[in-house]
Amino acid sequence: MADINVTPMADVMLVLLIIFMITTPLMQSGITVNLPKAKNPLDAPEADSKDAVVVALNREGKIFLGKRQVGEDDLYEFLVQKFSGGELNRNIFLKADTALSYGRVVQIVNQCRSAGVERIGLMAEKEKD
């Protein structure tokens, strides 16, 4: 028989596809938040880097740094420590749930500003056409 049998290769590829489909959602950093939708959000690839500071606010208004829940005082202390070394890049990214009140988001933004944060990126999802 002179033909190459590709059936084993197809089986291996299907198994690898299933493995990647299962593990990819588990690799998300932080908690899941229903982000507001925007027509033209800017891409922020630096938000996915390891040293990016991402603050998340869930539906109940609880604050998370990565996957760890923190209080407002702990957030302030963390940001003061993080940016007390004279860093040039004093940026954070804020993920807030759509059901959260605007006043709560402004309250956290004010607290971040008072801790020395210069730029706050408000994260949003791209609206589907």
Q: What is the pLDDT of residues 44-67, one digit of tens each?
A: 777 777 778 889 999 888 999 888
What's this model's pTM, rounded to 2 decimal places? 0.69
In which residue are the tokens 């408000």 written? 122
Sorted by where each begins, the domain ranges of the chain are 37-126
What tens digit of pLDDT does each residue of 88-98 get? 778 899 999 99
- CATH topology assigned to domain 37-126: Nucleotidyltransferase; domain 5 (3.30.420)
For residue 53, with 0-12 CB atoms within 10 Å meaning exposed, 13-18 middle and 19 or more buried, which class applies? Answer: buried
CA distance 28 to 30: 6
